[in-house]
Amino acid sequence: MRLLTRTDVERALSMPDAIEAVRRAFIELSTGSADIPPRAAIPLTRHDGTTLSMPGYLREAGALAVKIVSVHGGNPARKLPRINALVVLIDPETGRPVAVMEGGYLTALRTGAGSGVATDLLARKDAETAAILGAGVQARTQLQAVASVRAIKRFRIYARHPANVQAMIAELQPRLDPSIEILPAQSPAEAVRNADVICAATTSATPVFSGADLKPGAHVNAVGSYQPNVQEIDCETLRRASKIVIDSREGAMAEAGDLLVAIARGAISPDDIYAEVGEIAASLKPGRENDNEITYFKSVGNAAQDAAVAHAIYQQAMNANLGLEIELSRDSM
């Protein structure tokens, strides 16, 4: 079995390759060739945390994986990651575990890749300006994903703590084409008003920008909230969106607070949900149809993404001889 650290995972798979893996996973999810049981959650209320188990199998890709992920709100104060995760990749033919890999970065990578797929299908082709709300690990991969599918000339980043924004800029600027600007924004409105693409990747329980600030033709990726009572994006954004797109109907209707709160308040109805992103990727429904429509993609995360990206990471790690080969058991002689 191959053991892959976070460094191995980061080295193994590029964002463009992750986007392609997740694109295929979304298609499998929306066309019925993925087996994705509901994720099981264990609330850890006294520790301000939740631990989830997320199994998934993609029949076409032959990718079978289980992710165990814990989200603890108090960890940043302990100088620990808010999200910790482990992914086990399994050979579907034999049931043998073939790899164990760090799942915190994998989660950020596959979430960013999901927004990359949605941005490619829904954002204007001539998009040049993007806004990132948040400055954590998830925000970083959102920026990288958008830069992978559109010729963005300028990113504006807003977060509650300016020092985190500066740290994100210092980390990512050297990785991008020198012609791309990454600038801090003083407010959400400053970041959003002229943006063609907006990515919200925060831990906020309340809306992080006003939908009134969106310009015609804007595309919004919302990935931060994953609980039914947490609303990262306001009702006005949902009202203005001509296409509301989700990663999974089942997951969205159970967990997407952005949608559930808006439905409960009468701002939208369940019938306003246009499509799963996999339906658009599979050409079953059209994506953006004109330059003025506002589009919105909501992701609560899906094990199909984890399985696809874990499988791709393992293949690349084997090709590059990354990680450590270990033996869990030895047959009796």
Active site residues: 67
Q: CA–CA separation, 247 vs 221, rounded Å?
A: 11
Q: What is the distance between the alpha carbons of residues 65 and 4, in angstroms, rounded to a whole number?
A: 14
The pair of three-digit structure tokens given for residue 276, joined into one six-digit string: 């799963």
Helices (H) and strands (E) in the chain, counts: 11, 16
- The structure tokens 């831990």 sit at 203
Q: How far apart are CA 7 and CA 102, in angstroms?
A: 9
Distance CA 128, CA 299 (A): 23
The strands making up 129-133's β-sheet, listed across from edge to edge, are 181-184, 154-158, 129-133, 197-200, 219-222, 295-298, 243-246, 273-276
3: Cβ contacts below 8 Å, ≥ 6 apart:
99, 100, 101, 323, 324, 325, 326
Distance CA 144, CA 141 (A): 5
The residue among 67, 65, 66, 63 whose CA lies nearest residue 33 is 63
